[in-house]
Amino acid sequence: MSHVKKAIIPAAGLGTRFLPATKTVPKEMLTLVDAPTILYVVEEAVEAGIEDIILIAGRGKHAIEDFFDTSYELEDKLARAGNLNLLDRLTKIRNMANIISIRQKQALGLGHAVYCGKSVVGDEPFAVLLGDEITISQNGQKSVTSQLVENFSETQLSSISIMEVPDQDVSKYGIAEVQKISGCRYKVLSVIEKPDPKDIKSRMAMPGRYVFDSQIFEEIKNAQPGLNGEIQLTDSMKSLISHKGMEALTFTTKRFDAGDKLGYLKASVELALMNPELEIQFRNYLIELVKGWGK
Ligand code: G1P
């Protein structure tokens, strides 16, 4: 029985959708309330029992590694000032997981980025979390990655998250054709990367959370460039389905596309409304703001 203890987080993208902010700040370090987006993703992985986080990074991403490292000066200052809550938060962040950084030296696609983690993952099953997607569990809900890890433990089958999207959005995602097993559990029949809405048999999109059998590395190794000339993860998933099978799960947690300006703003607002320090004042501010629109 294999357990999922490792996760790959691809973080090599240039973040062009957030220029000029991302000229000097990695998009993974853009802030949602008071934490960089990458922290929400790493927290989701850790909550699912992941111990080793493999960041697939590109040039100019040192800030991510530094964020999960010790900052002696800062921690000493907080300790002397007696700011123990904040010190505790920083200590937890640097101890939450082993962060292993690997360079993706060429931008050859998501499949290639995942393949860059092979030497660390070896032949274990592993999770992949795409950093543009943020999922937030509330009131004891299981995170999306926890659900996938549990499904893998029970079935030993690669497991992915899916969500229904409107017709006009199918061309933004990898789409899975699925057959219901029971409840939120589905068998994956096929997957296709960003199809034309005219050609689709399904509107179940893959929002960037996966747990894979290590066989996926073999499939990626044998893959040919696909859409946009890139090694697409979705194409290798297709081969994995035919060789080993795959399941998909729908989820009820909140999810934001923080890689898009509107999605990022929505995530900022909703996370602020969940923050005990800000909740009441921010809610009142929003109410006043909306009232003003009618005038
Ligand atoms: C990638 C994947 C796609 C997936 C999406 C989720 O696309 O290739 O299959 O549905 O992430 O965000 P990208 O958004 O990087 O173009």
| Ligand 1 center to 167 CA (angstroms) | 16
Which residue puts its alpha carbon closest to atom 3 of ligand 1?
174
Best residue among 206, 233, 257 to mutate for probing ligand 1's pocket (most ligand atoms within 8 Å of CB) is: 206
Residue 159 falls inside a structural domain: yes
Please give the average per-residue pLDDT across 125-150, as a whole number: 93
Residue 209 falls inside a structural domain: yes
Q: How many domains does the chain have?
A: 1
Q: Look up the domain containing 214 and give its range.
A: 6-293
* 18-58 pLDDT tens trace: 999 989 999 999 999 999 999 999 999 999 999 999 999 98
pTM of the predicted structure, to 2 decimals: 0.94
Q: Using a 6 Å cutoff on CB, does residue 130 contact ligand 1?
A: yes
What is the DSSP code string of the chain? -----EEEEEE----GGGTTGGGTS-GGG-EETTEEHHHHHHHHHHHTT--EEEEEE-TT-HHHHHHTS--HHHHHHHHHTT-HHHHHHHHHHHHS-EEEEEE--S---HHHHHHTTHHHHTTS-EEEE-TTEEEE--TTPPPHHHHHHHHHHHH-SEEEE-EE--GGGGGGSEEEEEEEEETTEEEEEEEEES--GGG-S--EEE-SEEEE-THHHHHHHTPPP-GGGS--HHHHHHHHHHHH-EEEE---SEEEETTSHHHHHHHHHHHHHH-TTTHHHHHHHHHHHHHHHT-
pLDDT band at 1 (very low <50, low <70, confident <90, very high): low
**What CATH number does the domain containing 219 carry?**
3.90.550.10
* 73-85 pLDDT tens trace: 999 999 999 999 9
Residue 49 falls inside a structural domain: yes
Which residue puts its alpha carbon closest to atom 9 of ligand 1?
174
- More confident call, 188 vs 97: 188
Please give the average per-residue pLDDT across 224-250, as a whole number: 93
